[in-house]
Chain A
Amino acid sequence: MNDSRGDIVYRMARPETLKIVHLDSFTAVFHRASGITHLVTSPVPEILAALGEAGMTRADLMARLSVDYVLGDAEEGSLDARLEELVATGLVAVA
């Protein structure tokens, strides 16, 4: 949680490494690089779509999500928690 965090660019794992199947309120994601299956729910698919391959900083992502959606709980730290989860699984890469 230091200041340099603002410079980190988050990007979705390369699309060819993911296999995505929408079930109901959940989405099954097979991550080819790890061979691990993840079951994700909102807001993860929305975050992945927003980040895309180009990637963006946390602040840009928050701004983008605020434009596309009515954020019900823009609590500071919530987005960090989601990004941390996604980075840990490899679904999102940092640079």
Chain B
Amino acid sequence: MGRALDGWLLAQALRDPGGTVALGADEWTALLAIGRAEQMIGTLAWRLNGIDVPPSVARILADARASAEQGRVAALWEAEVARRVLAPLGVRMVLLKGTAFVAAGLQAGRGRSIGDLDILVPRAALDAVEAALLEAGWEWVKPDPYDDAYYRQWMHELPPLIHRDRDRMIDVHHTILPLTARITPDAGALLADAVELKPGLWALSPNDMLVHAAAHLFADGDLAGGMRNLWDVHCLVAEFGADGLAGRAAQHGLSHEVARALRLAAALYGEGARLTPVDRLYLYRLTARDGWGRAMRPITRMAFYIRSHWLRMPPAMLARHLWTKWRKGGAGPASG
């Protein structure tokens, strides 16, 4: 195995679990720290399940699997509660991201850390959904009026809500990209082609899951969590193939993003791909994590952070947004 102590260490362990037999104590230590920093320790633990590892590592990975399992139970329960609350409205509630993966029993959900519950509902139903959730014990997280107005005017989701008893957040989306982005995915098609996992619980079609993962990675985020996101892509392609994906990506206006996500996922976790110079820059950013779990390559990170906002907003609006955030002391990429 290669010996670079950065995100590639994690990528290689996920790609070739058997190859970890060659790791020494310091490399195992680095791998665990990087896995935790990228929130992929549970994924790693499942991937290495059954592989011969040192006893100390085996203990740590067993705990990570148990922890991920508890996270899976909590995520599915949160989805079930939301289903019960929204059922009387008669709208389609589509699970997104991690919760959808575990609800559908997909490889991508194996050991995956799941934070908030993300759901997609028809935009026309947004007010009714909001009212039903508030009635059932969810509360606004941010009382900040600027943030609230910003969300309502420009974002593809309601401002985040948290349940007052269970301390769990819900993100209610009506499409998969902010309204300010230059690309407008076909939200109607996302909903129309969703698949029902069990009564009242829906997930995007496999190709739309891939489109969403790509959109999330490139147009909506600053590549934070990108290694996990591309693992999702890798697993989805392995499980469902990519038939019809190019056409679907084109329908949503995300052809370039989906194609790049496939190349990067193949480079990190699969058989490799023909990379462009820009792809290499992405990989340089994605794997910027040292053996202590620290973020590396700050200039590249900052460039991607600014770019993520650039993609999301027209220039004048971006300036206004960054100015408002800066005055509140909230701007800047996560240092983590």
| Per-position binary interface string of chain A over residues 4-38, scored 1 when its CB falls under 8 Å from any chain B CB and 0 otherwise | 00000000000000000000000000001111100
Which of B70, B80, B137, B166 has a CB less than 8 Å from the CB of A33? Answer: B80
Is B77 part of the binding interface, using a Cβ–Cβ cutoff of 8 Å?
Answer: yes
Is B322 part of the binding interface, using a Cβ–Cβ cutoff of 8 Å?
Answer: no
Is B73 part of the binding interface, using a Cβ–Cβ cutoff of 8 Å?
Answer: yes
| Per-position binary interface string of chain B over residues 60-83, scored 1 when its CB falls under 8 Å from any chain A CB and 0 otherwise | 000000000010011011001100
| Distance in Å: Cβ of B70 to nearest Cβ of chain A | 6
Q: Which residues of B contact A32 (CB under 8 A)?
A: 73
CA distance A85 to B76 in the complex (A): 20
| Per-position binary interface string of chain A over residues 74-95, scored 1 when its CB falls under 8 Å from any chain B CB and 0 otherwise | 0000000000000010100000
- From A33, A35, A36, name the one whose CB has the most chain B CB atoms within 10 angstroms: A35
| Distance in Å: Cβ of B223 to nearest Cβ of chain A | 32
Q: Which residues of B contact A35 (CB under 8 A)?
A: 70, 73-74, 77
CA distance A90 to B70 in the complex (A): 17
Q: Which residues of A contact B76 (CB under 8 A)?
A: 33
Q: Which residues of B contact A36 (CB under 8 A)?
A: 77, 166
CA distance A36 to B70 in the complex (A): 10
| Per-position binary interface string of chain B over residues 89-103, scored 1 when its CB falls under 8 Å from any chain A CB and 0 otherwise | 000000000000000
Q: Which residues of B contact A33 (CB under 8 A)?
A: 73, 76-77, 80
| Distance in Å: Cβ of B167 to nearest Cβ of chain A | 11
CA distance A36 to B167 in the complex (A): 12
CA distance A35 to B66 in the complex (A): 13
Q: Which of B4-61 touch A at CB < 8 Å?
A: none
Q: Which residues of B contact A90 (CB under 8 A)?
A: 77, 80-81
| Distance in Å: Cβ of B27 to nearest Cβ of chain A | 34
CA distance A32 to B73 in the complex (A): 8
Q: Which residues of A contact B166 (CB under 8 A)?
A: 36
| Distance in Å: Cβ of B100 to nearest Cβ of chain A | 18
Among residues of A, the one whose C-beta sits closest to the C-beta of B166 is A36
Q: Which residues of A contact B137 (CB under 8 A)?
A: 88
Among residues of B, the one whose C-beta sits closest to the C-beta of A89 is B165
CA distance A88 to B80 in the complex (A): 11
Q: Which of A38-95 touch B at CB < 8 Å?
A: 88, 90
Q: Which residues of A contact B73 (CB under 8 A)?
A: 32-35
Q: Which of B117-137 touch A at CB < 8 Å?
A: 137
| Distance in Å: Cβ of B265 to nearest Cβ of chain A | 31
| Distance in Å: Cβ of B163 to nearest Cβ of chain A | 11
| Distance in Å: Cβ of B77 to nearest Cβ of chain A | 4
Q: Which residues of B contact A88 (CB under 8 A)?
A: 137
CA distance A12 to B28 in the complex (A): 47
A-B contacts, 18 of them at CB < 8 A, read: A32-B73, A33-B73, A33-B76, A33-B77, A33-B80, A34-B73, A34-B74, A34-B77, A35-B70, A35-B73, A35-B74, A35-B77, A36-B77, A36-B166, A88-B137, A90-B77, A90-B80, A90-B81
What is A's interface to B at a CB cutoff of 8 Å? 32-36, 88, 90
A-B complex: 10 closest residue pairs judged by Cβ atoms:
A34-B77, A35-B73, A35-B74, A35-B70, A33-B77, A35-B77, A34-B73, A34-B74, A90-B77, A33-B80
Further 9 A-B residue pairs, CB within 8 A, beyond A33-B77, A34-B77: A34-B73, A35-B70, A35-B73, A35-B74, A36-B77, A36-B166, A90-B77, A90-B80, A90-B81
